[in-house]
Amino acid sequence: MSASAWRHGLRIVAARPLTFAVYLAHYLVFYTLPLASGLILRAVFDALSGRAPAGPNVWSLVALMAGVEVARLVVIYSTVRFGQGFHLGLAAQMRGAMLDWLVAGRGARAGVGSPGEVVSRFRDDVEAMDDFMEAWIDLSGEMLLCLGALAIMFSINAAITVAVVLPLIGIVTLTDRLTGRIQRLRAASRAAGAQVAGFIAEAFGAVQALQVAAAEDRVVAHLDELNEARRRTALSDRLLSAIMDGLAANIAGVGMGLVLLLAADAMRRGAFSVGDFALFASYVGLAGGGPRWIGRILARRRQAEVSILRMQALMSGAEPLALTARASRAPHPVHAAPLQSLTVRGLGYRCPASERGIADIDLTLAKGGFTVITGPVGAGKTTLLRCLLGLLPIDAGEVRWNGEPVEDPASFMGPPRCAYTPQAPRLFSETVRDNISMGHAASDIEIAAALDLAILDGDVVRLGGLDTPVGARGVTLSGGQIQRMAAARMFVRDAELMVFDDLSSALDVETEQRLWQGLANRADLTCLAVSHRHEAFRRADQILVMDHGRVVARGAYKALLAAGSLPSPAREEET
């Protein structure tokens, strides 16, 4: 269930009340200064028409009005500068909450849709909530200005004031009746925009595949279709918003017409001065600002709630108000003792969609040991690693670090305790150095040691050094180089437990031998690897053979080979 946009907004204000209060005070001053301009304008025209009492002359009043306008400029400059801090803090709070949930939260965090869909939530939907909060500020100032203008106008002529107010009430009622349609159009517009962004991201990530299939024309045609759908939905969304704004803006013209009609008779009777008319003329537009912004905030609330639902979908499983919670940025626990043993008992997981998974997995890793998991495709090897690391939720069993239960593997099993190289590692369009360090404070000496252990030092020299870009997703590298660069990224963090998922699948025999030999020579490293290669089996202290989500055999290399639980080395060479 989604918490309302109002509740999220109140939590945002509560997170930085002083900033919001000062920001609001700036806008209240800025919005109410035109009241002084109207009163001065009235006095000027009354003085010119001979109805003003003794007091300041016309020129002093003109100077006073100029001073008020200068004050408005000073206030708006200060407001813009101060307001940036509030809006940037709001965006950082919401984006930080989503990142915290995805990266450091409890349990597994599944992405929603394509990268473009996720980017749309972090960019467009955060901006929609920011627009809603900005409407709070504008509405507060506009309503104060509106009430002040109406009070002054009512004190001069109540009948004309009531006639001006009635159309304003009508525009608010109309906007409220249209908010449901506004919400539906905004949801469709956001979804269409996300489809375009996601397709572009996927197309750029598969350039070679598109070229091989000669599919460029079809890709462009499909992109045109997506853009056309986006154009239609965005046009409908913006057109309705523009119509509502236009109606609200033209209400001021209607009000001015009513003032002209009703003031003529009062002016003939001497009950309405030229100054009064000038004041009403300047205040009609000001009085319309409050109802206009009531309509806008109702529309923006609907749009913000669409965005809140989309952002909460990214934070599946989080509390409804987690989106606007203070970002904790909590580090991984630092009090756990160095690894002596890692024990897994009765570990189980079932995929909700297919009911496939793992069951009753028992495993013990000792410090400095080398454990290999093997088995046919679909046996559950990768699923076991992902459950152990907290990348998938555990349905049954437990994980213990030095005998102590690990309550949340997702936050516990990370550097400096554990480092992981997945089956299909991801590189970024950055340099070799950046892809290895990824923000980790590593010296060139530490990076060089990691490259040496990953058997990648010679390749990096041939590529041109640490500052060589690797291209989108490592397009300039071979499959084996990508795997070893991901391994170097893991080694540079010097974790106590190294977890590999089929690291050597793209390596030649000589490189693989050197890699496993280097790891075996490091007595301080504890390794858990998924592999089907005998070079890894020979160096393992224990091997687990899995099939259909269960461990069907375990033991040393020679015993399992003799029992027929492993394929023969000759068969591996053939395949």
User: What is the CATH number that goes with domain 5-324?
Assistant: 1.20.1560.10
pLDDT band (50, 70, 90) for residue 113: low
Distance CA 160, CA 379 (A): 82
What is the biggest distance separating any 2 CA atoms in the chain, rounded to whole angstroms? 117
Angle, CA of 395, 398 and 401, to the nearest 5°: 145
Of residues 113 and 7, the one with the higher pLDDT is 7
Distance CA 480, CA 514 (A): 13
Give the domain ranges of the chain.
Answer: 5-324, 341-574
Q: Look-up: residue for tokens 């950046």? A: 434
Angle, CA of 463, 465 and 471, to the nearest 5°: 55
Of residues 119 and 366, the one with the higher pLDDT is 366
pLDDT one-digit tens code per residue, 115-158: 667 777 888 888 888 888 888 888 888 788 778 877 887 887 77
Q: Per-residue pLDDT for 401 more than 70?
A: yes
pLDDT one-digit tens code per residue, 232-249: 888 888 787 777 666 666
Of residues 353 and 486, the one with the higher pLDDT is 486
pLDDT one-digit tens code per residue, 312-355: 877 776 777 778 776 544 444 445 688 889 999 999 998 877 77
pLDDT band (50, 70, 90) for residue 183: low
User: What is the CATH number that goes with domain 341-574?
Assistant: 3.40.50.300
Q: pLDDT value at position 543?
A: 92
Distance CA 337, CA 15 (A): 36
Q: Look-up: residue for tokens 């080979």? A: 561
Helix-helix angle 509-520:444-453, to 10 degrees? 120
Distance CA 544, CA 565 (A): 10
Q: Per-residue pLDDT for 506 more than 60?
A: yes
Q: Per-residue pLDDT for 160 more than 70?
A: yes
Distance CA 471, CA 361 (A): 40
Q: Per-residue pLDDT for 254 more than 70?
A: no
Using DSSP, state whether 521 is helix, strand or coil.
coil
- Which bin fits 447, alpha (ψ -120 to 50), beta or left (φ > 0)? alpha
For 368, counting Cβ atoms within 10 Å of its Cβ (0-12 exposed, 13-18 middle, 19+ buried), the class is middle
Q: pLDDT value at position 528?
A: 92
Most confident among 66-70, 256-260, 502-506, 512-516 (mean pLDDT): 512-516
Q: pLDDT value at position 213?
A: 78
pLDDT one-digit tens code per residue, 450-479: 888 888 888 888 888 888 888 877 778 888
pLDDT one-digit tens code per residue, 26-68: 778 777 777 776 676 667 666 665 555 434 555 555 655 666 6
pLDDT band (50, 70, 90) for residue 400: very high
Cα–Cα nearest to 427, from 474, 464, 463: 474
pLDDT one-digit tens code per residue, 263-312: 666 766 767 776 777 777 677 666 766 666 776 777 778 778 888 888 88
Q: What percent of the chain has pLDDT over 90?
A: 7
Using DSSP, state whether 405 is helix, strand or coil.
strand
Asked, colleague to colleague, whether 5-324 and 341-574 share their fold, the answer is no
For 181, counting Cβ atoms within 10 Å of its Cβ (0-12 exposed, 13-18 middle, 19+ buried), the class is middle
Q: pLDDT value at position 259?
A: 66
Q: pLDDT value at position 249?
A: 61
Give the mean pLDDT of the chain: 78
Distance CA 248, CA 291 (A): 8
Of residues 9 and 258, the one with the higher pLDDT is 9
Cα–Cα nearest to 250, from 280, 278, 285: 285
Neighbours of 559 (CB within 10 A): 13
Show the tokens assigned to 195: 């489809």
Q: Look-up: residue for tokens 């990370």? A: 414
Q: pLDDT value at position 3?
A: 56
Q: pLDDT value at position 1?
A: 38
Side by side, which strands form the sheet with 404-405? Answer: 357-366, 341-350, 396-401, 404-405
